[in-house]
Amino acid sequence: METAWDIDLCALTIGYGSHIVLHNVTASFPAGRISMILGESGSGKSTLLRHIIGLSVPKSGRITIAGTDCTRMDDAEARRLRRRMGVLFQDGALLGSLTVLENVALPLTEHLRLPKELIRKEALRVLGMVELEQVADYYPSQLSGGMRKRAGLARAIITNPSLLLCDEPTSGLDPLTAARMDILLLTLHRQFPGMTILVVSHDLESFHHIADYTLVIKDGLGIFSGTKDAFYASNDPYLVRYRTRSSEATVADFSSTMDPRVSSELSRWLANP
């Protein structure tokens, strides 16, 4: 593995068309650490990740990875940079027409001139790291959500990337499977101390266990950027509510009454044998 990669966001504004998703975000994710982008659902975390990966172009500002400004790269430079990245997409993004083994081996099959048997062995080794050797010949549609994510993680790390980016690795998983994913990321971090890991999540439990640094997004702004300890020490009312899972609204309002026409039609339908 090469030198560890840090990520700097400088006055970054991103969006689609005329819609601004994030405005003037500045943050740093240090090299060789696990950082987490936290925020509510729909706050623009995954959109920010897509921009860091280089799949979308920011409206203004800079994204610097390992000292290189990604927003001013030509295609060849961007491709070289991506070779050192591993990305775990939200649902794994495994190719449906390939088996799990073929999916994990894909970066090697496409880029290296090695015997098939050696590539297979290597893919099985990485599948073993995420405890999926037994489903190597299954198709992604035959796997559970957690297995798909772990297979996606195996594909992301097979090239020994310097930068691992994970989009919601624990979302939609039961607590035990989510904890298993956290342990996988922590183990990876211990085994490859040079690897910078950036995770997008809203999972506070996961943040508590694995993250060193964080950026918190709210209403299109980066409202906090710093260490985990600083996050827990902050008295910012929003961060306090986020930490304690206490919503602004204490009671949900269901007091509005149903239109009588809907109510009577609904009663008629429910009474219908």
The residue ranges that bind other proteins (CB under 8 A) are: 50, 53, 55, 79, 82-83, 85, 87, 89-91, 93-97, 106-107, 109-111, 155
Concatenated DSSP letters of 170-239: TTT--HHHHHHHHHHHHHHHHH-TT-EEEEEE--HHHHHHH-SEEEEEETTEEEEEEEHHHHHH---HHH
Question: Among residues 111 and 125, whose Cβ is nearest to other proteins?
Answer: 111
Question: Among residues 28 and 109, whose Cβ is nearest to other proteins?
Answer: 109
Per the DSSP assignment, residues forming a β-bridge with 140 are none
Q: How far apart are CA 218 and CA 1, in angstroms?
A: 35
CB of 54: closest distance to other proteins in angstroms?
8
Concatenated DSSP letters of 7-27: EEEEEEEEEETTEEEEEEEEE
Question: Among residues 106 and 186, whose Cβ is nearest to other proteins?
Answer: 106
From residue 78, alpha-carbon distances to 52, 55, 73, 74, 201 in Å are 11, 10, 6, 6, 25
From the list 220, 224, 178, the residue with the least C-alpha distance to 201 is 178
CB of 190: closest distance to other proteins in angstroms?
25
CB of 2: closest distance to other proteins in angstroms?
16
CB of 262: closest distance to other proteins in angstroms?
27
Q: How far apart are CA 221 and CA 9, in angstroms?
A: 13
Question: Among residues 107 and 222, whose Cβ is nearest to other proteins?
Answer: 107
Q: How far apart are CA 45 and CA 191, in angstroms?
A: 27
Question: Among residues 146 and 222, whose Cβ is nearest to other proteins?
Answer: 146
CB of 255: closest distance to other proteins in angstroms?
34
Residue 167 DSSP SS3: strand
CB of 89: closest distance to other proteins in angstroms?
5
CB of 7: closest distance to other proteins in angstroms?
16
Per the DSSP assignment, residues forming a β-bridge with 222 are 217
| Length of the chain, in residues | 273
Question: Among residues 82 and 228, whose Cβ is nearest to other proteins?
Answer: 82
Question: Among residues 83 and 121, whose Cβ is nearest to other proteins?
Answer: 83
